[in-house]
Amino acid sequence: MVRLRPFRAGDEVHVAAWGKDPEVVRHYFGRRTLAEVEGPLVELRAAGGRIVRAFESAEGELLGWVELRNIAWRSGAAELRICIGRRDRWGMGYGTAAVRAILAEAAARRLRHVHLRVALWNQRAIASYRKCGFRAQAVLRAGRRRAEGMEDLMLMTVDLASQAFVTQSVV
């Protein structure tokens, strides 16, 4: 349903447009702007602490990106973030497919534990993560400060060793 691939020349235009959509920025867990994936969208190699993948539909439409960050190779742990930049593509199953695909890559690279933080109000994201095997571990009251005020967060984790992930091809 989705294909993961490295960012490539030309993607910057789309990422910049997504960063100008206030609803996308409000939902995304990262910084208030999407600056951290702007600039040269070079793929960071697995030897580093971050794997960033763009993902596109079967028709080749760029939809968003998914990443593993703060990777601790020795302990096998990493944090997941995802953003579908096209708001009109939310709720169509793409996010769940992209998360499953990067978890398959994480498992293939012998990572064992993936965690994430999500705003408690972001029920679409939580439902999607649950379908991928993530389970709630804790609620962090007032865990994050945003322009709108303090926000409660949910910490979710998945144990890759206990899940069967189908490895998908990554270009």
Ligand X SMILES: CC(C)(COP(=O)(O)OP(=O)(O)OC[C@H]1O[C@@H](n2cnc3c(N)ncnc32)[C@H](O)[C@@H]1OP(=O)(O)O)[C@@H](O)C(=O)NCCC(=O)NCCS
- Judged by beta carbon, residue 110 or residue 137, the one nearer ligand X is 137
Q: Where are the alpha helices (DSSP H) in the chain?
A: 11-18, 22-27, 94-108, 123-131
- Judged by beta carbon, residue 24 or residue 160, the one nearer ligand X is 24
- Judged by beta carbon, residue 8 or residue 87, the one nearer ligand X is 87
Q: Which of residues 128-157 bind ligand X (CB under 6 A)?
A: 128
Q: Which of 57, 53, 167 is CA-nearest to residue 110?
A: 167
Please say whether the beta carbons of 84 and 94 come within 8 A: yes
Q: Which of residues 45-104 bind ligand X (CB under 6 A)?
A: 64, 82-84, 90-96
- Judged by beta carbon, residue 73 or residue 143, the one nearer ligand X is 143
Q: Which of 27, 4, 165, 31 is CA-nearest to residue 94?
A: 4
Name the residue whose CB lies closest to ligand X: 95
Encoded one letter per residue, x for contact with ligand X by CB under 6 A and - for no contact, window 12-31 reads ------------x--xxx--
Q: Does 127 bind ligand X (CB under 6 A)?
A: yes
Give how many residues touch ligand X by CB under 6 A.
Answer: 22
CA angle 128/111/168 to nearest 5° reads 60
Query: Residue numbers of the site for ligand X (CB under 6 A)?
Result: 24, 27-29, 64, 82-84, 90-96, 118, 122-125, 127-128
